[in-house]
Amino acid sequence: MKAIGYNKAGPITAEDALVEIDAPVPKFGANDLLVEVRGISVNPVDTKVRANVSPDAGTKIIGYDAAGIVKQVGDGASLFEVGDEVFYAGDLTRPGTNSELHVVDERIVGKKPATLDFADAAALPLTSITAWEILFDCFALKEGHGEDDALLIIGGAGGVGSILIQLAKQLTGLTVIATASRPETVEWVRKMGADHVINHRESLTDQVRELGRTPRFVASLTASDQHFDSVVELIKPRGHIAMIDDPKSLSINAIKTKSLSFSFEFMFTRSMFQTDDMVKQHELLDRVSQLVDDGVLVTTATKNLGKIGVASLQSAHALQESGRAVGKTVLDGFPEVV
């Protein structure tokens, strides 16, 4: 099968930052599905791995979000059949989705929304899982609850922020305050449903206080080290902070006097450690799929760069690394995949 990966960690501007190869189909297990990849999207994890993680040997295939058609089902798999259209976020410990065929554990796979094409569906899995786990695992919210509380989302226009706004507004009673700094990103987060938009390039504390809604929950999705002190200052006592990025350092002692709770959210944890509740990601993706088909949620795809190829993936990685991506960048399958 054709696949795209890299041989040496480094910048996307390097001449051979990404290469196309003929690769064997990955090892297939009892719980696995073999999927013909029809659409993918690019996430920050794609660029971080490519830039920082050296391949053990040969070419490392990356890519995590995918949508496609099931071509083979493992002996122990029972959730899907050959021909089913699926979408999923992959597994950090296995070869990636930038390939014609991909093998994935069915317990982290959902039914693709019927109302979306493959590329637009591929925009959703990783970010939806992340956002869902923030709301319902980290914050331990119940659907329909939260009407007396507010959620501050730092980085509302990115992939996770875009779907987190939607899930919070559609499935909980939370008032959503999202940050954005450019006219196009402000417009986007309002379109996603944010009740209030503030500028993360200005004082968060002052802007939140002006709104008169002190958040009990904060989802810090980007530049957490820059905003942590402000978050601790403005959040309600006994509130909860969830973080997804990789700050170089944080003074966690600062949260003690307010008795705050703190969580890192990493959506690959369940697949990486084969947790007993791994199938929850299948269940939540099925729920997200149904919400999309019911018109409750919308895709966060904003740019389709065409078929998977070295040049198109380089452009997608460069856009993701520029810090100016809005929503999700997606690509269709390889040209040879019908």
pLDDT 10s digits, 132-159: 999 999 999 999 999 999 999 999 999 9
Q: What is the pLDDT of residue 220?
A: 97
CA distances (Å), origin 209, targets 165, 215, 235: 20, 10, 10
Task: Report the alpha-carbon distance of residue 106 to residue 255 in Å, rounded.
Answer: 39
Q: What is the pLDDT of residue 249?
A: 85
Query: What number is the average pLDDT over the span 72-91?
Result: 97
Task: Report the alpha-carbon distance of residue 99 to residue 106 in Å, rounded.
Answer: 18
pLDDT 10s digits, 192-227: 999 999 999 999 999 999 999 999 999 999 999 999
Name the pLDDT band for 318 (thresholds 50, 70, 90). very high
Is it the case that residue 337 has pLDDT exceeding 70? no
Q: What is the pLDDT of residue 250?
A: 87
Is it the case that residue 338 has pLDDT exceeding 60? no
Domains of the chain and CATH, by start: 2-124+275-332 (3.90.180.10), 127-264 (3.40.50.720)
Name the pLDDT band for 184 (thresholds 50, 70, 90). very high
Task: Report the alpha-carbon distance of residue 209 to residue 229 in Å, rounded.
Answer: 15
Residues in Cβ contact with 257 at an 8 Å cutoff, skipping those fewer than 6 apart: none
No. of H helices and E strands in the chain?
10, 16
Query: What number is the average pLDDT over the span 32-42?
Result: 98
Task: Report the alpha-carbon distance of residue 80 to residue 70 in Å, rounded.
Answer: 8
Strands 217-220 and 150-154, sheet pairing: parallel
Name the pLDDT band for 176 (thresholds 50, 70, 90). very high
Q: What is the pLDDT of residue 333?
A: 95
Q: What is the pLDDT of residue 226?
A: 92
Q: What is the pLDDT of residue 281?
A: 98
Residue 103 structure tokens: 């093998």
Percent of the chain having pLDDT more than 70?
99
| Mean pLDDT taken over the chain | 96
* Helix, coil or strand: residue 115: coil
| Closest C-alpha to 324, from 150, 215, 184 | 184
